Structure formats: structure tokens, C-alpha cells
Structure 1
């Protein structure tokens, strides 16, 4: 979203032109920005989904577009970023306290255990799941270095724990969709009952067991491999728990429903109009459909994409290549 203020980005060029040229059409925007009309329309749909530009009609070639006032866009950006910034600041404060405590000759941070042995680092993840009673929360970030056998073993354990009533909530990095091993694993787990969301750039690899243990996994500083930090109930544990919940609210839900199922042209047009902010009435009018038909298709598309809002549906549809 920040790139709307970057004059060198396509989104920034389109938004900047609209700021100085109210009620411009897509052809005029293309002429004024040097972009193709197809690229302009794609950018306009993205900006409309983020409430950065508006159009009063259905988005055809005759549509006139208007920029949302820049101060309003800035305020929206700041409000969104403040949520993440506040949570990360709390975590950073605790991490700083931990950093200083670990470097004093006397004393230590009692809530922390550092695991450096590569074999035990792998065992920690398995032990975490085997001992969870109610809920496991996780943030998964690249690199995805596990083998197919590793993921299959992980799947078997997770299915076993979910069958025992354990709730899994996971936040995945957006790049997981492009990974040939991580994405199929993620899709199967979602289909099995995992609650999953995606975020463009989560800040850490994290797993939280119930309310009594968190594990942060980091790259080792002085050698190849990983280090696990085991954090027990403390100010740091609460900061990590709060960070997860803040990121969960910001992340976009993912659904395994409809994976591998092609979308027809009508639903693609409905999704495109939904993502641009069109109402059910506007969609029905534009496509020549009955309002009830549109309402049913919108509801089905939201369910299939695991989305609760039209914006989320647009994001998920774009990630699946439906738009």
C-alpha cells in the first residue's frame, strides 16, 4: 500500500496522475502515465480494493476515476501499521532486556532456554506438538528447507493431534503459495481442519503451545543451522502471544476449498467487480444478472476462498491466479 506514494512504481504513477487529474478515464490514465491500458486497469482494481481510488460506475472503458485524498490514505496506512508496530515494539523491548541479561556475567533470564544442538532443535518442534493440550499457534516463514518425508511426518502428527481436539492456527508467509512442497502441505492441513491465514512478511518463525511455552526459531549467528529459543510464561512470552494475535487479525484467511477447481468466466467477472468495491446491485446491473443470483454467487465465492470481506476475496483470488 505504501507504494502509492512512490512515483517510480506503477501504482504510484496512476495514483499521482489521478491526484492531479480528477475524473480521469482509464485511456487517459494510460496516456498520462505511459502504461498500457491493461496495466492501468489492473492497478485501478488493486487501488479500488484498498480504498485508494473510487469510481461511481461499473469499471468499463467509460468510467471516470477519482483519487481518495492523500491525507486520508496516509491516515489509513498509519493506523494499519500502528497495530503491528505496537506489538513488535513490546516484543523488541523484551528482546532487548533478554539481550542485555544474557550478556551480563552474573544472572540470567529464567524464562529462556537456548537450544543449539541441531538434533534437539528438530526434536523441540515434535515435542511441542505431542504435548499440546488445547491450541497450537504458529507463524511459518521461509526458508522452507524440509524434505517431503519431513512434511509427511509433520502432517501425520498434526492430523493425530487435531483428531484429539487440538486447534491449530497458523500464519504463513505469502511466498508459501509458490513453494512446491510447503503449499501442498499447507493445503492438505487446511482441508483437514487447520485455521490458516497469510501475511506478506511475518517477522519471525514462532510456535506457541497453549499458554505455557513459545518457541522462536532463528538462524544461528556463527554457523550454519538453526537455534531455538524456548520461552516460558513471562513478559516476553506475553509479548510474543500478543504479537501473534495482532498479526492474526491483519492476516488474510486461506481456504483449501476449490483448490484445483477452475473458475468460470462469470465468477471471474463477479470477483473482479467485488474486488473493485462494486455492490451486489451494481454487479447484477453490469453483468445482466438477477440480484439474488449475484448474492448466491458472492456468498459461494467468499466461502470457497475462506474470506470474510470482499477485499480478502480479491487478495485470495489474485493469489490463486483466478483474476
Structure 2
């Protein structure tokens, strides 16, 4: 059509050696995509530059809509888990089991892992992990993978700067585990076979103990949260990158958290970095945006497309 503008259906069919019915179907699709114009005498294609621009704009809008749905799922699941976690210590319910200290948590996790038959999903926030904890986790992880259990783990990107943690992530990947990284994680969590989840008693203090829950709604929220984060996390081989605005994933996460009212201390905990590092990233973003305050930075971030308008 670009080479022969105005050619009727019969002429187009003859030019490409196809049946007229096939050409009609193709033209219907192109018309629905608004890539052609036609009347009773013939059809004309839009210029390739205009057509490609329309295709890319449409695809970008679809991706933005999908990203918004993922973010809404993540926010809803995080809110549900946060609100319920503080209530659980006071609830006497057989669906919730309280774990009081690190040793009890470690023993219970080992027992749950030995019973797992299909999949384990893990959020590993907090930045660097101790060499002892990493070493202790290798044997049970190897046993899980050896039984054919799917192991998926999301680490915060800041953990990649800690060599023992980076070595352990590489070991997991080499053993067949699926590993991704995210700029920040909302909670420490492990889900076993989509039937029970282990969560901290307090969102703000993982050392306060943990709970094992079999509550259907609770576990479903955890699974939804994991899948939403997993969908946008970076595969291990890809590493942290920049988005279309030139923002690194960690910087984009800082902007999102600041827009939601997080303090530097809370941002640091979510990203697994110090409050000082969080302040440095914030200051750098404000300087790049030419903003004298966080509120002004938020406004300019929206204006430049670094944050969604809503």
C-alpha cells in the first residue's frame, strides 16, 4: 500500500499473491489499528513514521495500564499484611502460630521447607545478610532444589554490594533457583506451596518474632504481593538498570516512597540502606529536579514524567 497508494482490494491481492478474502481480513485489522485510510475507491497506508509512532504510543499506554494494576495489587496486599500483622499476637486462632525468637524461627522454617513439594517464594529485604545465615541456608536450599521444588527469591539491590550476599545469590542461581532484585521490598516474607506464609510480627522490627499463618485470605494477599513485585523485579543477569526517564530502579523507588510520605529512615529500611544513604539519594534527586523542597520535587517529578500524575 505504501508503494501502490489507492490500490483496490483486487489489485492488492494480485500484488502479493493472496486471496481477496485474506487481504480483506488484513485490511480490517489495519483499519482497527487506525493504520490505514480508505474509501470505496481504494486504501492508503499512513506513513511508516506516523504508523510506528501510533503503535509505540498505544503499546506504552497498555504497559502503563498494566504497571498501574500491578502497583495497585502490591499496595493493597502490603496494606492488608501490615494491618493484620499488628493484630495477630493478640489473636487466639489455630490458623496462626507464633514464633518467638531467631532459633525457633530457623527451626520452623527448616521443618516447613522439608514439607514443601511445589514452590517457595521469598522476599529477602534488609540489605546484606550475615555469612553465617547464608551458609546455614545452603543445605536446605540444595535439598529443595534437588527435589524439584521451584525456588523464587527477590533480594534488594543494595545487597549486591555485599560480597558474601552476592556470592550466595550467584550460588542459588547456579543451583537452579530463580533470583531477581528490586530497589526495595515491602516486607520480609516466605510463602510455602501457596498454602501458608511466614511473616514478621511487626513490620518495623523483624527481631520481634514471626508468625506462621494458614489463613486463606492472608496467604492469598502474600502471593499477590509477591507476584506483583516479581513481575517488575530485575532478573539476576540483567542487574539494576535505568528506566525511560534515566532513573535507576533504586532512585525511582525512592521517589515513589517519598511521594507516599516515607521518612528517610523508613526509605532506608525499605531499600536495605542506611538513613544517610537514603538522604543522599533524596538530595541528589532534588538537585536534578531543581527543587528546593520535597513537595516541589514531587511536583516536578510528575511534570517530567518521573512519577504518575495520580
Rounded to whole Å, the distance in 1 between the matches of 2:185 and 2:219 is: 18
What is the DSSP-based 3-state SS (H/G/I as helix, E as strand, rest coil) of the residue aligned with 1:204? coil
What is the DSSP-based 3-state SS (H/G/I as helix, E as strand, rest coil) of the residue aligned with 1:175? helix
Q: Which runs of 5+ in 1 are unaligned?
A: 1-55, 57-67, 260-270, 277-323
Q: Is 1:135 matched up with 2:122? A: no
Alignment of 1:4-19 (within 5 A): none
TM-score normalised per structure 2: 0.51
Q: Is 1:246 matched up with 2:228? A: yes
Task: Quote the residue 1:120 is aligned against.
Answer: 104
Rounded to whole Å, the distance in 1 between the matches of 2:129 and 2:99 is: 19
Q: Which runs of 5+ in 2 are unaligned?
A: 1-48, 50-55, 247-310
Alignment of 1:1-150 (within 5 A): 80-93=67-80, 95-96=82-83, 99=86, 108-146=92-130, 148-150=131-133
The 1:101/1:161 distance shift into structure 2, 3 A limit, reads closer
Rounded to whole Å, the distance in 2 between the matches of 1:162 and 1:75 is: 36
RMSD between superposed Cα atoms in Å: 3.7
Highest CA radius of gyration, 1 or 2? 2
Deviation at 1:198, TM superposition (A): 1.0
What is the DSSP-based 3-state SS (H/G/I as helix, E as strand, rest coil) of the residue aligned with 1:228? strand
Task: Quote the residue 1:152 is aligned against.
Answer: 135
The 1:117/1:87 distance shift into structure 2, 3 A limit, reads same
CA deviations over 1:3-47 (Å, ceiling 9, x no partner): xxxxxxxxxxxxxxxxxxxxxxxxxxxxxxxxxxxxxxxxxxxxx
Aligned length: 188
Task: Quote the residue 1:169 is aligned against.
Answer: 152
Rounded to whole Å, the distance in 2 between the matches of 1:210 and 1:193 is: 18
Deviation at 1:191, TM superposition (A): 0.9
TM-score normalised per structure 1: 0.49
Task: Say whether the 8 Å CA contact 2:85–2:202 is kept in structure 1.
Answer: no
Q: Is 1:188 matched up with 2:171? A: yes
Task: Say whether the 8 Å CA contact 1:174–1:199 is kept in structure 2.
Answer: yes
Rounded to whole Å, the distance in 2 between the matches of 1:193 and 1:129 is: 16
